[in-house]
C-alpha cells in the first residue's frame, strides 16, 4: 500500500491523457455491459423456461393458427398436467408507439401452466369474474402508471373497426424469476372470442402445456405431433426453452454479433491503452533510472507500471459499469417492451471488470518489461 | 586517507582493484578504465577531475553498483560488489549508496517530502518513522518549510538540496555526487558544497564527487585526476593553481 501514492502520482502526471484513457475503458465497458444485457435478454426466455413445459405451434409457421378443438385432445394425453393457449393480440395503448404484448388467455388453466407468474388471489378471482377484466405485468403497469381498478382502452384496428377494446385492470402479476417477463397484458379468452370476426373465431395462436414430469417431454411431444399428423393443422411441439431459443434466432445470430463487436472493442482498447502506456513509460525513462539507482528492483519497476495500467483499467471499467447500471434500465424502458427487461447482473459486471483488468495488464506488460530491463547507466545518460 | 596502491587495504571502506571497463561502440572496443586501483577510507571526501571521456562518471557508476566492470573488483564495507546479481545489487545500492546527480533528478509529480521518502519505501520503517527521517533530512538541508512543494516550485539550489536530502535520508555508507554543482551558479554551488562539507565533517559521511570545477574540487580532502581511464593523484590546490 505504501507504493500506491507513487502509482497515483504517476497517473496524475498527464491528467488529460489519464482521463481519456479511463474514458476509453469506461466506454468499452459501457458498450460491453449494454450488449451483454441485450444478449441476456434474448436468452432469458430459454434460461428461465420451465423444463416441464411444451409449446405447440402450427408446423407450417408459428404465425398460423391452431384449432381450439385441439385443447381437449391434448389435455387427455397421458402425462399432460394442464394445457392453456394464447393468441397474439397486437394492440396499442393510446398511441401506436405504446406497444406491449397482449394475449387472450384461458383463465382456468393459466395459473396451472404458469405458476411462476404470481397474481394475488383476490385479484385473480376478480379477473375470473370480470368478462372485460385484465391482468398486467408489473413492468407495463409501472410504465403507464396503471393501478388496479383503472379502465384501459386498447386499440386494434387489424381485428375490427368497432373502436377500442375496453378493459378493467383487475390485477398485476410479478414473476418469480429475476428478470422474468413482466410486460404482458392478459385478458379473457371469452371476451376475445366474442368480439373477433368469424374468420378468427375458434383459432388459437399456440398452446402451452405443463407436463406431469419433465422426463415425459419427448414422448408427449411425439404423441401430440403424431396425433395431428396429416391434418389441416399439423403441429410442431417443442420444449419451452427450445421455442424461446428459436424465437431469439428470428433476430439473427445475436450472440455472434455481440461477441464480435465486444472483441473488436476490447482489442482496440488494448491497442489504445498499450500505446498510452508505452508513451507514458518512454517519457520518464530518466525517472525510472533514478528509481533503480535508489535501489528499486527491476521487478518492483515492473509492478509499478503494471499497477498503473491496472489502476487505469479498474477506474475506467468501474465508471463504465456504474454508467451502464444507471443507464440500462432507462434504455430498456426505451425499447417499449420489444425485449424482456434488460438486466445487468452482478456476474455480467464481474465478467466485464475481469475483461478490463486482463486488457489493462496486457496493455501495460510490454512497456513494463521494457522498463524492467532498462539499463540505469544508459537511461541516466539520456536524462 | 585515499591511496592508489595497496598500502591501505585493511582500513579501506572502498577498495578498487585492477578495474577495467570496456565499451563496444560501432564494433570498436573502447577502454574507459584501465587497471585502476583505489582505496577510500571512511569519512573521506574525494573529488575526481579530468577531461570529458576520461572515465570519471563511469568510475562513479561502477562504485555505485549501477554498472559492472569488465575486469577487476570493487569491495565496499566488505561486500564484493562486482559479482552481485541485479537484484542483490539493487538492495545493496539502497543500503549503501546515496546518489546526487547534476540535474537533481527529482520526480516532478512528487513533493519534496515524497521525493526524500522514496529510499525509505524500500525499508521496513513505519509511516511515522519515515516521516521522522524525512523531516530530519529536510531540516538538515534547510528545507523543512518546503515539505509540500513540488520540484517546479523550487529553485535549482533548493532542488539540489532536496536531492541531497534524498541521498542521505537512509543514512547510506557513502555518497556519490556526479557534477552535483554543474547546473548551479557560483553562489548556489558554494551553498551545496558547504552542505556536502558539513555532511563529511559533522556526520562523518564518505563522499566521492566528480566535477569539472577546480574550485569545487578544492573543497575535497583529496582530488584525483583521471586521464584516459587511468588515475593520477593531484591536490585541489594544484588544480586551482594550474
- Judged against a pLDDT cut of 90, whether residue B12 lies above it is answered with no
| Cβ-defined contact of A293 to B95 (cutoff 8 Å) | no
The per-residue pLDDT for range B74-91, each reduced to its tens digit, is 999 888 998 899 899 999
Average pLDDT on A180-208 reads: 89
Q: Which of A107-116, A194-203, A332-341, B192-201 has the lowest mean pLDDT?
A: A332-341
| Cβ-defined contact of B91 to A287 (cutoff 8 Å) | no
pLDDT of residue B191: 92
Interface of B with A in 110-129 (CB under 8 A): 110, 114, 118-119, 121-122, 127
Domain ranges of chain B: 44-56+91-241
Is A254 exposed, middle or buried, given 0-12, 13-18 or 19+ CB atoms closer than 10 A?
middle
Contact A371, A281 (CB under 8 A): yes
| Cβ-defined contact of B114 to A5 (cutoff 8 Å) | yes
Q: Between B67, B97, B103, which is nearest A377 by CB?
A: B67
The answer to whether B95 contacts chain A (CB < 8 Å) is yes
Long-range residue pairs from A231-237, CB within 8 A, at least 24 positions apart, any chain: A233/A58, A233/A64, A233/A65, A233/A66, A233/A67, A233/A70, A234/A58, A234/A59, A234/A60, A235/A56, A235/A57, A235/A58, A235/A59, A235/A66, A235/A70, A236/A56, A236/A57, A236/A58, A236/A59, A237/A54, A237/A55, A237/A56
| Cβ-defined contact of B107 to A290 (cutoff 8 Å) | yes
What is the distance in angstroms between the CA of the first residue and the CA of the last residue of chain B?
24
Average pLDDT on A91-96 reads: 88
| Cβ-defined contact of A287 to B61 (cutoff 8 Å) | no
pLDDT of residue A158: 78
pLDDT of residue B147: 94
- Residues of chain B with C-beta less than 8 angstroms from the C-beta of A291: 118
Q: At what angle do helices A298-334 and A254-283 cross, to 10 degrees?
A: 140
- Judged against a pLDDT cut of 70, whether residue B235 lies above it is answered with no
| Neighbouring residues of B164: CB distance < 8 A, sequence distance ≥ 6 | B100, B141, B180, B192, B195, B196, B199
pLDDT of residue A339: 64
pLDDT band at B241 (very low <50, low <70, confident <90, very high): very low
Average pLDDT on B58-83 reads: 92
pLDDT of residue A39: 79
- Residues of chain B with C-beta less than 8 angstroms from the C-beta of A13: 108-109
pLDDT of residue A263: 87
Q: Between B99, B105, B121, which is nearest A286 by CB?
A: B105
Which value does ipTM take for this structure? 0.90
Average pLDDT on B231-238 reads: 60
Which residue, among A4, A7, A3, has the nearest Cα to A309 in the 3D structure? A7
Q: Select the highest-mean-pLDDT range: A234-248, B9-23, B104-118.
A: B104-118
pLDDT band at B242 (very low <50, low <70, confident <90, very high): very low
pLDDT band at A50 (very low <50, low <70, confident <90, very high): low
pLDDT band at B137 (very low <50, low <70, confident <90, very high): very high
Sort strands B12-25 and A66-67 into parallel, antiparallel or unpaired.
Answer: unpaired
pLDDT of residue B239: 41
Test the B interface: residue of A295, A298, A299 with most B CBs within 10 Å: A295
Task: Give the mean pLDDT of chain B.
Answer: 89
Is A377 exposed, middle or buried, given 0-12, 13-18 or 19+ CB atoms closer than 10 A?
middle
Test the B interface: residue of A293, A302, A381 with most B CBs within 10 Å: A293
What's the longest Cα–Cα distance across chain B? 53
Test the A interface: residue of B84, B121, B167 with most A CBs within 10 Å: B121
Q: Which of A378-382, B8-12, B137-141, B229-233 has the lowest mean pLDDT?
A: B8-12
The answer to whether A290 contacts chain B (CB < 8 Å) is yes
Average pLDDT on A39-50 reads: 66
Asked: is B44-56+91-241 a CATH 3.40.50.300 domain? The reply is yes
Residue A183, helix vs strand vs coil: coil
- Residues of chain A with C-beta less than 8 angstroms from the C-beta of B103: 383
Average pLDDT on A22-40 reads: 88
| Cβ-defined contact of A380 to B101 (cutoff 8 Å) | yes
Q: To the nearest whole angstrom, how far is the Cα of A26 from the nearest Cα of chain B? A: 25
C-alpha R_g of chain B: 18
What whole-number distance in Å separates Cα of residue B97 and Cα of residue B168? 9
What whole-number distance in Å separates Cα of residue A206 and Cα of residue A209? 10
What whole-number distance in Å separates Cα of residue A19 and Cα of residue A276? 12
**Cell, residue B150:** 513540488
- Residues of chain B with C-beta less than 8 angstroms from the C-beta of A383: 101, 103, 105
Average pLDDT on A55-79 reads: 92
Residue A122, helix vs strand vs coil: helix
What whole-number distance in Å separates Cα of residue A10 and Cα of residue A288? 11
pLDDT band at A204 (very low <50, low <70, confident <90, very high): very high
| Cβ-defined contact of B93 to A286 (cutoff 8 Å) | no
Q: Which of A164-168, A243-247, B65-69 has the lowest mean pLDDT?
A: A243-247
Question: How many degrees, rounded to 5, is the angle at CA A173 between CA A170 and CA A177?
Answer: 175
Average pLDDT on A341-364 reads: 87
Amino acid at each position: 500500500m505504501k507504493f500506491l501514492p507513487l502509482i497515483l502520482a504517476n497517473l496524475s502526471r498527464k491528467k488529460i491523457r489519464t482521463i481519456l484513457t479511463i474514458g476509453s475503458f469506461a466506454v468499452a465497458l459501457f458498450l460491453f455491459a449494454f450488449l451483454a444485457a441485450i444478449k441476456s435478454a434474448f436468452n432469458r426466455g430459454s434460461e428461465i423456461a420451465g423444463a416441464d413445459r411444451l409449446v405447440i405451434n402450427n408446423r407450417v409457421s408459428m404465425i398460423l393458427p391452431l384449432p381450439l378443438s385441439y385443447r381437449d385432445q391434448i389435455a387427455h394425453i397421458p402425462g399432460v398436467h394442464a394445457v392453456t393457449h394464447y393468441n397474439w393480440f397486437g394492440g396499442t395503448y393510446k398511441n401506436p408507439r405504446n406497444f406491449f404484448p397482449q394475449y387472450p388467455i384461458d383463465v382456468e388453466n393459466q395459473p396451472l401452466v404458469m405458476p411462476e407468474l404470481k397474481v394475488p388471489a383476490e385479484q385473480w378471482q376478480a379477473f375470473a369474474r370480470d368478462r372485460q377484466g385484465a391482468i398486467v405485468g408489473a413492468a407495463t403497469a409501472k410504465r403507464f402508471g396503471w393501478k388496479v381498478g383503472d379502465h384501459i382502452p386498447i386499440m386494434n384496428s387489424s381485428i375490427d373497426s368497432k373502436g377500442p377494446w375496453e378493459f378493467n385492470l383487475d390485477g398485476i402479476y410479478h414473476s418469480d424469476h429475476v428478470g422474468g417477463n413482466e410486460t404482458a397484458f392478459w385478458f379473457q379468452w371469452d371476451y376475445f372470442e366474442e368480439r373477433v370476426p368469424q374468420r378468427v373465431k375458434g383459432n388459437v395462436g399456440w398452446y402451452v402445456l405443463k407436463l406431469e414430469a419433465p422426463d415425459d417431454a419427448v414422448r408427449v411431444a411425439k404423441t401430440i405431433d403424431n396425433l395431428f399428423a396429416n391434418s389441416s393443422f399439423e403441429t410442431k411441439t417443442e420444449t419451452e426453452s427450445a421455442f424461446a431459443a428459436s424465437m431469439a434466432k428470428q433476430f439473427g445470430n445475436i450472440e455472434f454479433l455481440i461477441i464480435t463487436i465486444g472483441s473488436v472493442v476490447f482489442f482496440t482498447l488494448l491497442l489504445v491503452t498499450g500505446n498510452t502506456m508505452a508513451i507514458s513509460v518512454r517519457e520518464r525513462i530518466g525517472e525510472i533510472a533514478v528509481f533503480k539507482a535508489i535501489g528499486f528492483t527491476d521487478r518492483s519497476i515492473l509492478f509499478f507500471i503494471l499497477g498503473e495500467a491496472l489502476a487505469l483499467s479498474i477506474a475506467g471499467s468501474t465508471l463504465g459499469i456504474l454508467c451502464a447500471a444507471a443507464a440500462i434500465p432507462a434504455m430498456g424502458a426505451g425499447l417499449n417492451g420489444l425485449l424482456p427487461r434488460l438486466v445487468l447482473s452482478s456476474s455480467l459486471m464481474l465478467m466485464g471488470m475481469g475483461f478490463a483488468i486482463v486488457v489493462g495488464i496486457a496493455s501495460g506488460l510490454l512497456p513494463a518489461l521494457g522498463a524492467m530491463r532498462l539499463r540505469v547507466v544508459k537511461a541516466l545518460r539520456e536524462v | 586517507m585515499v591511496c592508489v596502491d595497496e598500502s591501505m587495504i585493511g582500513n579501506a571502506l572502498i577498495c578498487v582493484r585492477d578495474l577495467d571497463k570496456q565499451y563496444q561502440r560501432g564494433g570498436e572496443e573502447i577502454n574507459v578504465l584501465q587497471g585502476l586501483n583505489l582505496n577510500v577510507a571512511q569519512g573521506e571526501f574525494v573529488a575526481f577531475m579530468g577531461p570529458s571521456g576520461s572515465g570519471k562518471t563511469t568510475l562513479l557508476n561502477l562504485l555505485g553498483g549501477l554498472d559492472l566492470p569488465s575486469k577487476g573488483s570493487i569491495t565496499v564495507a566488505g561486500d564484493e560488489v562486482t559479482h552481485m546479481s541485479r537484484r542483490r545489487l539493487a538492495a545493496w545500492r539502497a543500503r549503501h549508496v546515496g546518489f546526487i546527480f547534476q540535474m537533481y533528478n527529482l520526480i516532478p509529480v512528487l513533493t519534496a517530502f515524497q521525493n526524500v521518502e522514496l529510499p525509505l519505501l524500500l525499508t521496513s520503517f513505519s509511516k511515522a518513522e519515515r516521516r521522522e527521517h524525512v523531516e530530519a533530512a529536510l531540516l538538515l538541508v534547510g528545507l523543512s518549510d518546503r515539505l509540500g512543494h513540488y520540484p517546479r516550485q523550487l529553485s535549482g539550489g533548493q532542488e539540489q538540496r532536496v536531492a541531497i536530502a534524498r541521498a542521505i535520508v537512509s543514512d547510506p555508507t557513502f555518497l556519490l555526487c556526479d557534477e552535483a554543482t554543474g547546473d548551479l551558479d557560483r553562489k548556489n554551488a558554494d551553498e551545496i558544497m558547504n552542505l556536502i562539507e558539513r555532511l563529511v565533517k559533522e556526520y562523518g559521511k564518505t563522499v566521492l564527487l566528480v566535477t569539472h570545477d577546480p574550485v569545487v574540487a578544492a573543497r575535497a580532502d583529496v582530488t584525483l585526476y583521471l586521464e584516459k581511464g587511468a588515475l593520477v593523484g593531484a591536490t585541489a590546490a594544484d588544480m586551482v593553481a594550474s
